[in-house]
Every structure is written in structure tokens, then in C-alpha cells.
A and B are shown apart, each in its own frame.
Chain A
């Protein structure tokens, strides 16, 4: 097991280096325009561009540039300067993290709990009215675009424009450290909107796997032992059917932490997704690079966590 984990961690590190190099190639080598000019923003003077070229070693050979790029990231956490905001990228990103984490974690708890519960009930009462109803709704949830759901939610419940103005609407975000109640009030709609789409997918996924697992020989054995049906379902069925959920959950959460772009824009939440979106609008190259690296980082770490949890859940994985 330890051996397996060490191996996964080493692979993760290698992957991160590879992703960083690829990002470097995308942002330093591939652009057709002058990298220095791109980094300087839209309205820079020739003098500013020269300054940037020198400061970021863009006048040096490519390998040197790669070296400085890595050195900056690893030793100083230096991801460059956002010229639009005139602030270090790292600082900007970290200031926006709490909002994204709030959105992602809250929604994740919500969709995980509801998705699993609905999935189990639907699988156990297959073809019942309850199953048919929830699964039809789930199909709607999967098909509906998140931004549309978000707009509908605002239209219905937001305290400024809603028909039933009971919850915080667009732009009502407050940091949890400043105003916990305001934070909660502003988060409920984004959580629900985000959770609907994911819960729909998770419940269908779990229902499918659980139905398959309940036909396995070891479920028959569990019943033949005389275990109560509840134990058979929860302890033997769900335990085996949960593994694809774990995989999906890790990857979804990882991707969301890298920026819940649509939700953050619809609800005007100052998170990473919003930051990346603005950076793209303003061609703020260093900032784009920073958010891309952060998103990649979360996805890679999520993969690592999924692999380790998977090995814990399924003993067969521990032996290569």
C-alpha cells in the first residue's frame, strides 16, 4: 500500500512538471505575437514592453526562460504580475480562492448526499413511480445548462429581482470571515444550482452501477447468509458500487476548485473562475497562465487523491 502511494505521488510530481512545461510552451513559445507585448497588456508603450522583455528574461534563449520560469514558481511562488490589476498573480489568485472553495465544497456536499441517496433509492425500488419520477427529473437536471438554471434561480428567489425574494442574489457574496450569515445567504442559490446538475448525474451513475452490482454473485451470497436486506444493500451493494462515484467526485471537485466559471459569472462571485474569465477578456497573459496552472494543479491532486482512495476501497488495486 505504502509502495503504491509513493509511486502515485512520484507520478503526480512528474505530471505537474509536465503540465508546467506544457503551459510554458503555450504561453512562451507558441504565441505568434511578441510575448513581451502580450504580457504588457493592450496599451503599453514601447518602453514598457522593453522593460518587461528584460525583466522576464524574454530576451534570453528559450531554455534560460524555462529555467527562470521554474525558478520563479518553485522558489518564490512567482507567477508573474497582472498588468491589468498591477498585482502579483499569486496574490490575486489566493485572494479569490476562498470564494471558489466556498462554492465548490458547499455544492459538493449537497450533490454528494442527495445524489447518493436518490441513486440508492432508485436502484432498490427500480421501476417504481418514485424511481421513474426522480430519474426523469435527473435527466432534466443533466440536460439543463448551469447558467440557465442559475438565471432561473435568480429570477425566482433572488432578493433583488426574484418573484419570491428570499435569498441572496447576484453579487451578494460576503467573505465568511467578515459576515458568516451573509456568506451563507449568498451561497445557497449557487450551491443548489451547481448541485442540481451534478446530483442528477451522480444519482443516475450510482443507480446504474448499483443495479448491476445487485446482480453479482456475492450479493446472492450475502442474502444466502441471511443478512437483512438493508445490510445487503448498504454494506455489500453500495460499498462495491461507490467506486465510480469516488472517481467522478474527485475529478469534478478538482475541476471546480480550479474555477466554477459559469456559476461565478452568473452569481457574480469573485472566485477563480471569474478571475480567469476577466483575465481572458483583458488578455492578461500572466493571470491566465496562473489560473491555468492552478486548475491543472487541482485536477492532478484530485487524481492522486482518487487513486489513493480507490486503493483503500478496493483491495485488489493495491497489488499492481
Chain B
């Protein structure tokens, strides 16, 4: 395995609000190598988007406290001066967002917006930048790119807009592309095309891809490694096959068991995770998932679990015994119910 391109260490982001301090991201670590794809999964409010924005300094403000390190090219993005970080944005690390319509400026032609991105980091002439923009639109699969260069965002379809966003993000050949819910606003057939495109670009350009999503299906199809976030923390991290085959965290179990599938029996009821995520302002001590966890033990409400290896490749933040969790999931995966799993996991205690 090569050395990490981007390595996030113990990143925390706190917002000062009128209601109190929101701990949006709370000690998150991950790293990514060139050409790999990392999926960050979580529900709304889990801190997955804030983390991505913070790497680019887009959450910096007087009300924000950012701690930890994010090493990129030997330098720490968190400690970096604004101007130096600006030069990395779009050049070293680029980002695309959920809603491609609102993410493109409504008053400027798509081509001009791409040209602007190119010229933000190079001395390219208007003509050269325009030629490059044309090439990029072709690269991301926009038909008749020459005509599309002079069109406005509202003249594009949803999928085409996201392609244009990707073209813009690629304009300075970034080493890392952070895609924040890139297909959530799109139709399923278009989503498939955009995911294919991202996958193709990652392979062809050797980019590292960080894909932030709530959709386990999207992660399964695009990521090499997955980090599951809950209430500002990573609760589980593993290679994608491992995570889906042998998850070790009850929250991941909950997610996997609550989604309807295209295969298997549809007579079984879905198993929702009861309750809802905790407040990010006043968090009770112990495991953040404790209140929603069917297997919660007394110590879960006292001690905070830390992300630690639970097998050769998987790391999990859970205080329950590892072997118990392993057998409990085997039971659940084989169609067993929560009670049986509870007995397996907690029966010994």
C-alpha cells in the first residue's frame, strides 16, 4: 500500500451557536491513497459534509473552532494560512456538491465558470483555458460540448449539470476529489451514469475519490473503503466487502437491516433503528448510539468507545465484546431476530 495522499488525524469541528457549542465533527481520522475511493456514510447531521468542507477551509469563521490535523503533501491543511489553502482548493483537492443546479452560478455561462476555475490556478490565456474547458466537457461525456460551453446552467438537465460540475472540479487535475452526495438529487438512471463517470475518472486520472453519501448502495458500488459516521464520529471503518459482509457495529447493523432491498423476501418487515440521533450540543456521556442500541450495556452509558481494530481489516467503536458481536451478526445475517442476537451478545453477562 502506498503512502497516504491525504491523511486526516483527529479532526474536530465545533460551531458556536446561540444554543450552545455544536460538536459537528468530533475526533475523526481517515486517510486515502492515490487512485482509491473512500466512502463516508452517515445520516443528516452526522458530520460527514462538515468534515469535507473543513478540509478545504470552507467552514472557517469566527464562530468555528477546528482542531486536529489534515496532512496533504507534507503540510497541514488545518493550520495553513487562508491564502495558501486557497491555492490548494480546486488544484490539490477539488469538491463537488449535492445539488448541481444551486451549485453553479445562475448568471454565468457554464464554459466561463470552468474557464474561471482554470485561471484561478494558472496563467492560461482565455483561448487556452476555453480549449481546455471544451476538452473537459468532452471528457465528462457531455454531448456537443462546443455548443454547451456557451449555455447557462438552467439550460442543462440535472445529470448534465453534475457532469459540468465534475468537469469544473477536474480542471486543475486535482489529486483528491471530494464528492458530497453527488447523485442524491438525480434520477436513478442518471445516478448510475454519474457514478460510472466518477469511477472511470478515478481509474484513468489516478485521482483519490472521497464519496460522502447516505446511500449504502452508492457506497457499495463505488468505494474501496468505507467509514460509517454517527453523531460526528466514525463508528466503523473497513474495506467495503468486509463492512457489508461482517459489520461489527450495531449502528451499521441497524442501517443494513433498515433498508428495503431489490432481492430477498419482502414479507419481512423492515427493522428501523428506533429513536433519533442525539443532540450535537449537549451530548450525554458514553456511546452516542447507546439510546438507540438494542444491545446496550451499562458501561456504554459511561465510557466513550474508541475506534479500535475488531478483526484484521475492520475497526469499530463499540464497547461490547468482539466475539459476541461477531456471532450476533452471523445470527442476524442468517435471518435471526434482534432478540436472538441480544442473547448471543449479552447472554453471557
Complex A–B touching at CB under 8 A: yes
Please report the number of residue pairs spanning A and B whose Cβ atoms sit closer than 8 angstroms.
74
CA distance A235 to B116 in the complex (A): 11
Given A220-B97, A224-B89, CB of A316 within 8 Å of CB of B116: no
A314 within 8 A of B: yes
Interface pair B152/A226, CB less than 8 Å apart: no
Interface pair A224/B90, CB less than 8 Å apart: yes
Interface pair B105/A218, CB less than 8 Å apart: yes
Smallest CB-CB separation from B114: which chain A residue?
A225
CA distance A228 to B117 in the complex (A): 11
Interface size grouping (class) on chain B? 20 to 34
CA distance A231 to B89 in the complex (A): 14
CA distance A173 to B144 in the complex (A): 63
CA distance A239 to B104 in the complex (A): 14
Chain A residue numbers with a CB within 8 Å of B168 are: 221, 225
Interface pair B107/A226, CB less than 8 Å apart: no
Interface size grouping (class) on chain A? 20 to 34
CA distance A227 to B165 in the complex (A): 15
B103 within 8 A of A: yes
Query: Which listed residue, B53, B90, B152, touches A225 by the CB 8 Å rule?
Result: B90
A223 within 8 A of B: yes
Interface pair B94/A224, CB less than 8 Å apart: yes
Chain B residue numbers with a CB within 8 Å of A216 are: 102
CA distance A225 to B94 in the complex (A): 7
B154 within 8 A of A: yes
Interface pair B89/A313, CB less than 8 Å apart: no
Interface pair B103/A236, CB less than 8 Å apart: no
Query: Which listed residue, B53, B105, B107, B120, touches A313 by the CB 8 Å rule?
Result: B107
Given A225-B168, A226-B91, CB of A217 within 8 Å of CB of B97: yes
Chain B residue numbers with a CB within 8 Å of A239 are: 105, 107
A52 within 8 A of B: no
Chain A residue numbers with a CB within 8 Å of B90 are: 224-226
Query: Which listed residue, A224, A231, A236, touches B95 by the CB 8 Å rule?
Result: A224
A255 within 8 A of B: no
Interface pair B105/A221, CB less than 8 Å apart: yes
Encode B19-54 as 1/0 by CB contact (under 8 A) with A.
Answer: 000000000000000000000000000000000010
Extra pairs beyond A221-B104, A226-B121 (5, CB < 8 Å): A220-B58, A224-B94, A225-B89, A227-B116, A314-B106
Write the residues of chain A forming the contact surface with B, with a CB cutoff of 8 angstroms.
216-218, 220-229, 231, 235-236, 239-240, 313-316, 319
Interchain Cβ contacts under 8 Å between A and B, 23 examples: A216-B102, A217-B97, A217-B99, A218-B103, A218-B104, A218-B106, A220-B103, A221-B104, A221-B105, A221-B165, A224-B58, A224-B90, A225-B89, A225-B168, A226-B91, A226-B172, A227-B86, A240-B105, A313-B107, A314-B106, A314-B107, A315-B106, A316-B152
Write the residues of chain B forming the contact surface with A, with a CB cutoff of 8 angstroms.
53, 56, 58, 82, 86-91, 94-95, 97, 99, 102-107, 116-117, 120-121, 152, 154, 165, 168, 172
